[in-house]
Structure 1
Amino acid sequence: MSAARPTEFSKLEPLLLLSVTVLILYFARDLLVPLTFALTLAFLLAPAVARLETRRVPRVLAVALVGILAFSLIGGVGYVVARQLLNVARSLPDYHLKIQQKMSTVHSSTEQSFEKAIIAFEDIGDDFITSAFTPAAAGNNQQTPTQIQPVRIIDPDRSQLQATAELLMRFLRPIGTVGVVIVFTIYLLMKREDLRHRILLLAGMGRISLMTQALQEAATRISQYLFFQAAVNASYGILFGSGLYLIGVPDATLWGVLAGILRVVPYVGTATSLALPLIVSVAVSSSWLPPILILALFLALELSATNFVEPWLYSSRTGISSLALLAMAIFWALLWGWPGLILSTPLTVCIVVIGRHVPQMSFLHTLLGTDAELSTEAHFYERLLAMDQREAHAIATQFLEGKPLVELYDAVLIPALSLVEQDRHQGNLDDVRCNFFFLSIGELVSELTDYKQKLPANSIAVTPYPSRSVKAQEFAVVCISASDQADELTAQMLVQLMERSNHQTLLLSANSVSTEILDSLAEESNTVIFISALPPFAFSQARAICQRVRAHLPNNRIVIGLWNTTNDPDQTPEQTIERFGSGKPTVVVNTLAQALQQVAQWHQPFSGFYSIQR
C-alpha cells in the first residue's frame, strides 16, 4: 500500500497543480488581466522595437517611438469611433418610429388579434391580483392588518456625494486600468531580458534549455497570431465597409472599422458588428432588400473567414484546434469576463506550449493541440478493435501509397501486433477480438502478395546483375515462428518479403521443427535460419529455440528477429548476442528492413554489373 500511494499522488499532481492555478487566476484577476493585456501588446510591439534596435536606435528611444505611435493610433481610432457612435446614437430616436412602422408590417392580422388577446388576459390577471391583495380585501378576509413600514431619513447631501463618487469610480477605474496596461507594456518592452532571466531562474538551472525553447515558441506563436489577426480583421473591415457602401447604408466606413475592431472579441464581437448597421438599415431603407443584403454579406464574409482563412492561418501557427479555441474562449470568458474572451487565444497558446514542453502537463497539449492525433499503427489497431476491417485496410492502403511494402509491415502492422500481444497478456482483450485481429492481418498480408510499389515517372530503379566471373552466394531461408499466432504472422511477412527478393524460403512453426528436419538442414550449411519472435515475453522463447537449432546446426547462420524492439544503448551487438548463452545467433535484428538488408549483404557478390531501368 505504501508503494501505491506515491504513484497515485504522482498521477493526481498535475490535476492538483491545474486546480490551484485556476483558483489563482480567478482570485487575482484584477492584477492579472492588465498584466496579460500588457504581455499581449508587448508581444505585438516587440518585433518593431527589435527592428529599430538593429538599426542602432537606443532601446529607450525605440520603445518611446513604438509606444507613442501604437497608443496614439489606438487612442485616435477609439476617439473617432466613439464620436461617430455618439452621432449615430443621437439619430436613433428619429429612426424609432420608422422601425416600429416597418416591424408592424411583418405581423399579420391574425397575429395582431392574438397579441390583443394576450394583452387582455394580462390586464384581467393584473386586476385580479390587485383586488385580491388590497387592504380592503384583506379586511374582508379577516387577516392580520398590514404592517407599518419604518420611515428612513436619507441625507440628500450624502446621497448626492455618494452618487458622484460612484460616477467618478466608473470613469476612473477604466482609465486606471488603461494606465496600468501602458506602464506594464513599457516595462516589458524595456526589460525583456530581465523578465526572461527571472523565469529561467525560477525554472532552475537544469531546465534552462527546456524553458528557453518554451519561451521562444510561445513568443513566436503569439506574435504571428496577433500579426495575422490584425491583417485578417483589417481585410474583413475593408470588405464589410465596402459592401455596406455599395448597399447604401449610412456611415459605411464607421461600420467597417467597427467590424474590424470588434472581431478581436471572439463570437460576441462579430454579432455586434452585424446588429448595429442592420438596425440602421432597417430604419433608413424603404424596403427589406438592404437588410437582407447586409445579412447575406455578413454570412458570406464570416463563413469564408471562419471556415477557410482563419483555420489556415491560425491553427498552423497557434497549434490549437478549432474546437479547443471555442472551448477555451468559453472558459476564459467565465473566468475573467470580456477581457478573458479577448485574451483567450494568446492565453491558450501559452497553455499548449506548456503542455508541449512540460511532461507533467502533456495532457493539455493532447486536449488542445492540433497535432494530437493517433499514430497510424494506433489508428489501425483501434479500427480493428472496433471490428471495422474495411476502414483498417483503408488506413493501411493510404499509408502504403508510394512506399515499399516493408515500411508498412515495420511501421504499422508489427507495432499493431505488439499492441495486441500486450493487451492479450494483460487480459484486456477477449478471444473474439483477438482472433478477428489475427485473421484480418493475415488476410491483408495475403492481399499484398502481388503489391507493386508505384515509383515516380522520372525515378531510376537499380537492379543488381551478377557478373559471370563472380556469382552470388545461393542459399535458402528457413523462417521459424517462435510461439503463437503473432509470431506466425510476422514470419509470414518475412517469408513474403524474402520471396519478393527472389530467395528460396520455407515457413515452419516451432512445433513442426523436428529432429529429422534439423538434421536435413544441417546438410546445407548455406541455409539461413530466421527465428521470428514478437514481444512481450519473446526473448526466452527465442533463446530456447535458438539453442535447440544451434545444437543441430553449428555451422549455419542463425538470425533472431526480435521485432518492434529497440537496442539497449548501453549494450553492444556482441553483448546482446551473448545473452542467448550457448546457442548464440549470428545476428539479432529488430525490423524486417534490417533482416532484408542482412540477407542482401550475404547474397551480394564481391563485384558485378548493375542494370539501370527507368
Structure 2
Amino acid sequence: MIYGRSTGLSPVSVVVAALFWTWIWGPIGLVLSMPLTLMLVVLGRHVPAFAFFDIMLGDRPALSPAETFYQRALGGHAEEAVEQAEVLLETRSLATYYEEVVLPGLRLAAADVDRGAVERSAMRAICDAAKETLVMLADHIDIDAHVAAPDVATGPGKLEQGEVICFPGAGPLDAAIAMMGAQLLRREGYTVREQSRDRLRGEGGEIIDLGDAEIICILGLFDPRAASRMKRVASALENRFASSRVIIGVARNVEPAIGIEDIDTALLRTFSDVTHAIQLARLELASGAGTCDS
C-alpha cells in the first residue's frame, strides 16, 4: 500500500497488477508488474484516449470536487452536496469552497449546456439544488479562522463596509450565483439587499430603491455577449443614480475573453474580484465626495 501511494497507484491496482503480470510471465512478470502498470497510468494521464487506465489503476479520484458537486446538483441531490461540503470544509473556508468547488461546478453545467451535452431545461433543477445547498451552508462557521481563503478582505485602503444591492442576471444559473455572492459579501461585513431581476428590468411596475446603498451588483455567469448587455444596463443605472457604481460578475469561462478588451469590470472572474471591485468603487466614490466637499 505504501509502495502504491508513492508511485501514484491505488493499493488494489498494485495487487491486481502483481497477480496479472505473474500469471502472464511468471516471476519475470512479478518483477516487471509495477513498472509496466505505472507506465499505463502515466500514459492514461497524458493521452486522453487511454484515460481509462488512470481511472482504473491510479490513486486519483475519478471526479474533482467541482465535478462531484455538479454531478450531485444535476441529480437534484442537495443533501449529498452538503455532505461533500462538510468534508471539504474541514480543511478550507466556506469562501474557498464557494470559489473552488461551487462556482467551477456551475461553470461546468453552463459549459455542458453550451456544447449540447445537457438540456437547457435541466438548468432549473441544477440551480434549485445549488440554492438549497447554499441555504444549508449559510450559517457555517469556519473551523479555523486561519484557514487559507481568497483574499477578499484586502485592497487599496479600508472603508467601513456599507450597503450593497444584489441582482441576479437573466441566465438560468444566475440566481444561485447571486445568492452565493450575497452570502460572501455579508461575511465580509456588508449589508446586502437581494432583489429580483424583474425589478432590475422595471417589469410589473417595480422600481429600484437604492436607499443608503452606493453599490449595485449584477451577478451571474456572463459570456462576452451577455457581459456587453449588462454593461449597457450598468451605464443606464449609473446615469440614473449618479452617486452609485455598478459591479458586474462573474465570467462564464475562466479563459480570457477575446474581442471585448473594452469590458473590464464586466468580466470579473471570481467573487474575490467582485469584492475587490466594490472596494475600489467605494474608494472612488469617497474620494469624489471629498473633492466636492473641499
TM-score range (shorter-chain normalised) is 0.7 to 0.9
Q: Which residue of 1 aligns with 2:66?
A: 377
Q: CA deviation at 1:499?
A: 2.3
Q: In the alignment, is residue 553 of structure 1 matched against residue 238 of structure 2?
A: yes
1:217-240 C-alpha deviation (Å, 9 max, x unpaired): xxxxxxxxxxxxxxxxxxxxxxxx
Change (3 A) 1:473 1:329: closer
State whether residues 564 and 591 of structure 1, in contact with CA within 8 Å, keep that contact through their aligned partners in structure 2: no
Structure with higher Rg: it is 1
Looking at structure 1, the residues matched to 17 and 282 of structure 2 have their Cα atoms a distance apart, in angstroms, of 60
Distance 2:207 2:238 in 1: 7
8 Å CA contact 2:169–2:220 kept in 1: the answer is yes
Q: CA deviation at 1:341?
A: 3.5
Question: What is the aligned residue count?
Answer: 271
CA contact (8 A) 2:247 2:278 kept: no
> Which residue is 1:591 aligned to?
270
Please say if 1:501 is aligned against 2:201. Answer: no
Contact 1:401–1:454 (Cα < 8 Å) also in 2 = yes
Aligned pair partner of 2:92 in 403, 427, 431: 403
Counterparts of residues 422-441 of structure 1 (less than 5 Å): 422-429=111-118, 434-441=123-130
In the TM superposition, 1:169-180 aligns within 5 A as none
Question: In the alignment, which residue of structure 2 is the partner of 1:544?
Answer: 229
1:512 partner SS = helix
The alpha carbon displacement at 1:553 in A equals 1.6
Mapped partners of 2:133, 2:246: distance in 1:
28
- Residues in 2 aligned to 1:318 and 1:474: alpha-carbon distance in whole angstroms: 50
Contact 1:330–1:341 (8 Å) recurs in 2: yes
Cα distance in 1 between the residues matched to 2:206 and 2:214: 13
TM-score (norm 2): 0.74
In structure 1, C-alpha distance between the alignment counterparts of 2:108 and 2:207, rounded to whole Å: 33
- CA distance in 2 between counterparts of 1:478 and 1:456 reads 27
With over 3 angstroms needed to count, the CA separation of the structure-2 counterparts of 1:360 and 1:437, relative to structure 1, is closer
Identical amino acids, percent of aligned pairs: 25
Deviations 1:113-143 (A, max 9, x none): xxxxxxxxxxxxxxxxxxxxxxxxxxxxxxx
Give, in whole Å, the separation in 2 of the partners of 1:318 and 1:355: 14
1:527 equivalent in structure 2:
214
Contact residue 385 and residue 433 of structure 1 kept, 8 A: yes
The 1:375/1:491 distance shift into structure 2, 3 A limit, reads same
Q: How far off its partner does 1:429 sit?
A: 4.0
- How big is the shift at 1:382? 2.4
Higher relative contact order (CA 8 A, sep 6+): 2
Whether the 8 Å CA contact 1:482–1:510 is kept in 2: the answer is yes
Superimposed CA distance per residue, residues 12-40 of structure 1 (whole angstroms, 9 cap, x where no aligned partner):
xxxxxxxxxxxxxxxxxxxxxxxxxxxxx
| Gap change, CA 1:456 and 1:513, over 3 Å in 2 | closer
* Partners of 1:586 and 1:317 in 2: CA distance: 45
Q: Are 2:199 and 1:512 equivalent residues in the alignment?
A: yes
d(CA) in 1 for partners of 2:18 and 2:161? 68
Matches within 5 A, 1:355-394: 355-357=44-46, 361-394=50-83
| Cα separation, 2, equivalents of 1:514 and 1:381 | 30
Which residue number corresponds to residue 6 of structure 2?
317
Unpaired runs of 5+ in structure 2? Answer: 147-152, 288-294
Matches of residues 324-363 of structure 1 in structure 2 within 5 Å? 324-333=13-22, 335-357=24-46, 361-363=50-52
In structure 2, how many angstroms separate the alpha carbons of the residues matched to 1:471 and 1:325?
55
Q: 1:471 to 1:444 in 2, by over 3 A?
A: closer
The runs of 5 or more residues in structure 1 that have no matched partner are 1-310, 458-463, 465-469, 607-614
Aligned mates of 1:320, 1:514 — CA distance in 2: 55
| Matching residue's letter, 1:314 | Y
User: Over aligned residue pairs, what C-alpha RMSD do you find?
Assistant: 3.7
Change (3 A) 1:381 1:594: same
- Paired AA for residue 529 in structure 1: I
Counterpart contact for 1:534–1:563, Cα < 8 Å: yes
Deviation at 1:489, TM superposition (A): 0.8
Q: Counterpart of 2:191 in structure 1: which amino acid?
A: Q
Of the candidates 138, 155, 160, which is equivalent to residue 449 of structure 1?
138
- Aligned: 1:413 with 2:106: no
Taking the TM superposition and a 5 Å limit, the aligned residue runs for 1:99-114 are none
Alpha-carbon distance in structure 2 between the residues aligned to 1:493 and 1:389: 15
Q: What SS does structure 1 have at the residue aligned with 2:138?
A: helix
Residue 331 and residue 360 in structure 1: after superposition, are their counterparts in 2 closer, same or farther (change >3 A)?
A: same
Q: 1:425 Cα deviation (Å)?
A: 4.7
Q: How far apart, CA to CA, are the structure 1 residues paired with 2:42 and 2:134?
A: 41
CA contact (8 A) 1:518 1:553 kept: no
- Give the helix-richer structure, 1 or 2: 1
Contact 1:482/1:542 (8 A) holds in 2: no
Q: Distance in 1 between matches of 2:145 and 2:218?
A: 36
The 5-angstrom pairing of residues 33-44 of structure 1 reads: none
Instruction: Determine if the alignment matches structure 1 residue 483 to structure 2 residue 162.
Output: no
State the AA in 2 paired with 1:541.
A
After TM superposition, give the deviation of residue 357 of structure 1 in Å.
Answer: 5.0
Distance 2:234 2:122 in 1: 34
TM-score of the two chains, using structure 1 as the length reference: 0.39
| Residues 563-574 of structure 1 aligned to structure 2 (within 5 Å) | 563=251, 565-568=253-256
Partner SS for 1:566: coil
Whether the 8 Å CA contact 2:19–2:30 is kept in 1: the answer is: yes
Matches within 5 A, 1:269-284: none
The whole-number CA distance in structure 1 between the counterparts of 2:133 and 2:182 is 15
Q: Distance in 2 between matches of 1:551 and 1:386?
A: 39
